[in-house]
Each structure stands twice: as C-alpha cells, then as structure tokens.
Amino acid sequence: MRLIIKDLCHRYDDLVVLDGIDLTVQEGEVLAVIGPSGCGKSTLLGIAGGIVAPTSGTIAVAGEVPDGCLNPITFIFQDFALLPWRSVEDNLSLVLEHHPLSAAERRERIESGLRRMGLWDFRKALPKQLSGGMRQRVGIARALAVRPAMLLLDEPLSALDAQTRELLMEDFLSLWQRERTTAVYVTHNLDEALRLADRVVVLSRRPGRLREIVTIEEPRDQRLEPSAQAHLAEVRDRLWHLIRAEAQLADREIADA
C-alpha cells in the first residue's frame, strides 16, 4: 500500500506545526522520519493514520491490502498503549473483537502474533509483569494480529534500553524481510533510521518542513557488514549535519518555553 501526502499543513491554534509537506511512501518501503524535537514528526504520523485531523492538505492511500487485513493502517506506539487490566492475549483480542471473525480465527491470529514475537508462554501475563521490551513486543504482536498493510511506528524503541532496542531492531528487520509491509518509522535516533529505513526524511524545526530525503542504498540485511560502514558513516554525518544546528535551536526553544 502507498501513502500519498499532499501539501499538508497543521496548526494548534496559532502554532504552525507542519507546513507544506509533500511526501509519498512507496509500497513495501520503510521510510524513517527524523527531525528536531517538536518538529511535528508524531503529528505527521497521527495525521497519516487518521487520528489527528489536518488543518489543510490531503492524505490518501493507494494499492492492494493483504488478505485478511482488518486495519490497513496500524500504529505501534512509543508507550506501548497496552490495557493494564487485560492479559497479553486479551490485549491482542481487543483489536479483533469488533470484527466478524470466528472464535477459531481469532484464536489463530492471537496465537500466530504471540508465537512470532516469542510471547506465547506469557499470554496470560498482565503488562505490569513484563519488561519494557516484552511490552513493546506485545504492541507489535497486536499490530500483526490485524495483518496491516502499513505500519506507523511512533518512536517505538525510545522508551527501551540499548540492548532491548537492538533486539527489537532485529525483530523489525526479520519482520520486514518476511512481509515487506510498508512502514513509516518516526525516530530521533539516527542509528535506528540508518539500520532500518530505505529512505530517511529530514524535517526542519517547527514549523516542520521537508528539508531533505536521503536514500540509503545498502540492503538492510548488509548494513552491519564492514563494507557498508564507510558509506553509512557518511550518510550519518550528512543527516547529523542537517539536523544538528536546528536540534540545538529547538532544544533552546523548549528550554525557554
């Protein structure tokens, strides 16, 4: 599925957050969005997913949805957004209960999602009994249970420690290796963007405007190879150069506010 954003502007009262965003996310592509704090990355994702109404501009999708897809555009949240009073399997069940599925199919989707994320043995656990990494895996399993055509990931690893981040990045890599699900991945972490994305969109500080789109040529599965390091370091420097000064200014703005 493709996502087409045209001339998108968004403001909160007098505060312009996004201005004139034109962007197309290609089918099967992983597009990372980076930019200074407060530049509207998460707002852009919210608008793309239909949970924030844009002030102006259009958002459209095109292309086929996979068989059995119940929620074409599906979020994975930074804070996991799990219901603390529901067990792991019931958190997955929540997003299936309003669809006309047989009990067997619902069970199959829950089991398949949990097994893929290595959570089957924890299906009866409550979220509070899980580590941060496992909670995010539940969030991913919940997203997979609806067989999405497009994933919108809002800083999904930022609440996790470095080791867990690494493990979950491997999970995302194997997911995109298998299924080629289109994804928009908002992050403030350049290394995550370089490791996971096909293209990286750089937004300016508020109001967020599209500054540059950087394509990463190396195939995702070869980015840890020594031969890829020099080029990735170059791309990283370029990205950092693009956002460094603005990140500093944005930081001061937040401190002043």
Q: How many CB atoms lie within 10 A of CB 251?
A: 14
Contact flags string 147-176 toward other proteins, x per CB under 8 A:
------------------------------
- Residue 85's contacts (CB-CB under 8 Å, 6 or more residues apart) are 126
Which residue bears the tokens 């996502």? Answer: 3
81 binds other proteins (CB under 8 A): yes
| Nearer CB in complex with other proteins: 128/241 | 128
Long-range Cβ pairs for the range 13-17 (8 Å, 24+): 15/206, 16/206, 16/207, 17/43, 17/206, 17/207, 17/208
Rule CB under 8 A: which of 213-252 touch other proteins?
none
Binding to other proteins by CB under 8 A, coded x per residue (else -) over 108-147, reads: ------------------x-x-----------------x-
Give SS3 for 30: strand
Q: Does 66 bind other proteins (CB under 8 A)?
A: no
Cα dist. 131→92, 101, 136, 159, 183 in Å? 17, 31, 9, 11, 25
| Helix pair 103-116, 132-145: axis angle to 10 deg | 140
Tell me whether the omega of the peptide bond preceding residue 54 falls within 30 degrees of 0, making it cis. no
Min dist CB 141 to other proteins, Å, is 13
Taking alpha carbons only, the member of 87, 91, 94 closest to residue 125 is: 87
Report d(CA 251, CA 232) in Å as an integer. Answer: 26
From the list 17, 36, 40, 71, which residue makes contact with other proteins (rule: CB under 8 A)? Answer: 71
Closest CB 143 distance from other proteins, rounded Å:
9
Q: Which of 22, 24, 50, 219 binds other proteins (CB under 8 A)?
A: 50
Residue 12 contacts other proteins per CB under 8 A: no
Q: Which stretch binds other proteins (CB under 8 A): 58-66, 84-92, 112-120, 181-189?
A: 84-92
CB of residue 38 vs other proteins: minimum separation in angstroms?
18
Where does this chain bind other proteins (CB under 8 A)? 46, 49-51, 70-71, 73-75, 77, 79, 81, 83-86, 94-95, 97-98, 126, 128, 146
